[in-house]
Chains A and B, each alone.
Chain A
Amino acid sequence: MSVAAPPDEAHGVAGPSEVATPGLERQAERAKARQGFLLGLPAIIYLLVFFVIPLGVVVAYSFATRTRSGRTELRDWNLNAYARLGDDIVLTVAWRSLWVAALTTVICIVLAYPLAYFISTRSAVTRNLLLVGIMIPFWSNFLIRTYAWRVLLDSDGLVTQMVQATGLGDGRILFTTNAVILGLVYGYLPFMVLPLYAAIERIDWSLVEGARDLYANGWGAFRRVVWPLSKPGVVAGSILVFVPSFGAYVTPAILGGNKEGLLGSYIVLQFLSARNGPVGSAVSVVVLVVMLLGTLLYFRSGGKNL
C-alpha cells in the first residue's frame, strides 16, 4: 500500500514513463492477483466446505466420545479410539493390509517394468496405440473389472478349470487373500505401467550406448544405467499402487473372504455395522497419514504430476 504511487500521479502519466512504471506495474500486478483469487474463489469455497471441513470432522470424530447407543458425540475429547488401534484384531488387519499392499506393489513392478520398457522401445505410432491399450483399463469401471475375475475364478470358471487341467492344484482361490491380491494387481497394474513408461521413455539412450561401448554387457548396462535412471518411475508407480491397495475396500468385498478383512473393510464395518465412529475415524486418519507420507515421498522423488 505505502509503496504504490498515488492514484492521480499514476494515471496522469500516459506514456511509458520510467518513474511511474513501477507503481503502475505493481498496481496491475495486484489487480491481476485479485482477479486470479476471485476466479479460484468458488472452487476454494467448495473444497473448504465439502472437503476440508469433512476432513476436520473425521479428525474430530477420532477424538470424540461414543455413547452407549452407538452415536458419536463431539465432547469429552479423548484418545480411546487410538488406544483401540493397539488391539490384536486391529493390528492383525493392519498387518495383513500392509503385507497385501506390499506384495501387490512388488508383483506390479515385476509385471509392469518389462512392459513399460517394451513400449518405450516402439515407434511413435505403436507406442501411442499401446498406451491407449493401457489407458482403457486405467480409467474404465473398476468394480466391473474386479467382478470379471469372479466369473473367471468361479468354482467352474475358466481359470479354475485351466489350473485344474494343468494339475497344479484345485485352483480354488476365490474368497481368499490370494484372490484379493490378484484383483488388486489387475486393478492397479496400469497405475504402475504409466509412470514407469514416463520414466523409461525419458532416458537418454546414448548413455546406454556409451556403457555398451565401454564393454558393459546388456545386463550390466541395464543394472548400472537404465535401472537407476528409471527409479523415479518405480517410486511413483509404487506409491500409486501401494496407497489405494492399502485402503482397498471394493476388491476384498468382491473377491475376498469374510474372515480375512483389510483396513478398508474394517473402517466400513466400524461405521456401518459396529456403529463405532471414533474407532472408524481413527483408522481412517491412520490410512490418511500413510497416504500423505507416500505422496510427500512421491514429490520428494521428483514426481510432478499424478
Chain B
Amino acid sequence: MSKGVARSTAEPQGLSRWWLRGHSLLVFVFFYAPIVVLFVFSFNDSNAVGNWKGFTFGWYEAFLDNDNVQKSIWVSVKVCLFSTVIAVVLGTASALALERFRWWGQKAFDAVLYLPIIIPDVTMAVMMLVFFGEAAEWFNVIPGVDLSSGLEKLVLSHVAFNISFVSVVVRARLANLDASMEEAAADLYANRWQAFRRVTLPQIMPGVIGGALLAITISLDDVVVSSFVAAVGATPISVYVFGMLRKGVSPLVNSVSVVMLTASISLVLASLVFSRATGSGREER
C-alpha cells in the first residue's frame, strides 16, 4: 500500500510524464525495429540487401540448399552440446562448492570464476590462440586427442567461458534456497550423495536448466573466440556468417541470420521462463 503511494510519487507529473513515456517507447522501437526489418528483408526478392522488390521464400531455399551452411550448423550443434554438458557439470559442482561450503582458497577461486564473464572477447580469443599454439604438443601426448581437427579446441575454449555463466546462474538459485532441507535429509541418515540427488538437485534444477540454456546460447552465438580457434573445414555457423559478412553481403545472410536469431531468442525466452518461474534471478545479472 505505502509502496503504491510512493511509486506514484516517483512518476513525474504533467509534461515530463509524457516525455518519459515517449522516450521509453522510442528506446523499445530502437531495440526491436532492426530485428523486425531484418526479418522482413529475409523475404526480399532482390540481390541487393537494402531495398524492397517483392516477396520470396528464395533465400530460405538457398539456405536449405547450401551445404556449407548445413555443415557449419552441424559443427555448431556438436560444439555447443559437448561444451554445455561439460560446463553444466563443472559449473554446478563449483556453484555448490562455493555456496554450501567454506574452504581454503575459496575467495581466490570465486574471483577467477568471474574473469571469463567480464574479459573482453578479443583477449579471451588471443589467450586461446596462443595457448593452443604453445600447448598443442602437450595434448598430442594424450592418446586419442587430436587438436588439429579444431572441434576439440572449440569445445575446450567454450567450456572455459561457460563454466562461469552456469556457476553464476546456479548460485543465484542456491542462494535463494534454504539449506535446512538438506540438513534434514542428513539427519534422516541420507548420505551426501542421496541428499544431493533427492533433495538439492530437484530444488536447483530450474537453475541448472536455466544455466544450460544460457550456455547453449552463448556457445552458439560466440564469434570471436571461435574464429580464433576454429580450423579450416570445421567452422561453426556464427564464424561462417561473420566471414560472409566481411566478404560482401548476399541476402542469403538475411535468411541464415533470421534462423540464428530465432534460435537465440527462443533459447533466451526458455531460459528466462526456467529461472524465473521459480524466482531465481536472471535479473541479478
Give A residues with C-beta under 8 Å from B: 32-37, 39-40, 42-44, 46-47, 50-55, 57-58, 61, 72, 74, 111-112, 114-115, 117-121, 128, 131-137, 139-145, 147-152, 154-158, 160, 186, 189-190, 194, 198, 203-206, 208-209, 212, 218, 243-244, 246-250, 253-254, 264, 267-268, 271, 277, 280-281, 284, 287-288, 291, 295, 305-306
Contacts and interface: CB of A to CB of B under 8 A. Distances in A.
A244 B221 CA distance: 16
Given A133-B28, A139-B217, 8 more contacts: A52-B112, A112-B27, A121-B7, A140-B261, A141-B238, A151-B254, A189-B30, A287-B120
Contact of B51 (A42, A52, A156): A156
B130 A281 contact: yes
A250 B284 contact: no
B168 to A, nearest CB: 7
Contacts of A42: 89-90, 93-94
Given A43-B93, A244-B120, A288-B123, A131 B283 contact: yes
B122 A46 contact: no
B121 interface: yes
A141 B221 contact: yes
A135 B272 contact: yes
Contact of B34 (A143, A186, A268): A186
B126 interface: yes
A306 B117 contact: yes
B160 A137 contact: no
Contacts of A150: 49, 245, 249
B34 A148 contact: yes
Nearest to A185: B30
26 contacts: A36-B102, A37-B101, A39-B101, A42-B94, A50-B157, A52-B112, A57-B134, A121-B7, A135-B268, A136-B269, A137-B32, A140-B261, A142-B221, A143-B241, A148-B38, A150-B245, A151-B34, A151-B50, A198-B283, A205-B3, A205-B10, A209-B5, A249-B122, A264-B121, A264-B122, A281-B130
Contacts of B268: 135-136, 139-140
A120 B24 CA distance: 12
Given A40-B103, A47-B163, A295-B118, A118 B94 contact: no
Nearest to B28: A133
B265 interface: yes
B94 to A, nearest CB: 4
B180 interface: no
B78 interface: no
Contacts of A144: 38, 241, 257, 260-261, 264
Contacts of A135: 268, 272, 282-283
A35 B21 CA distance: 53
Nearest to A204: B6
A70 to B, nearest CB: 12
A61 B130 contact: yes
B130 A118 contact: no
Nearest to A239: B118
A126 to B, nearest CB: 11
B50 A155 contact: yes
Given A36-B101, A40-B94, A140-B268, A209 B9 contact: yes
A156 B52 CA distance: 10
B14 to A, nearest CB: 9
B77 interface: no
Nearest to A40: B97
B31 A133 contact: yes
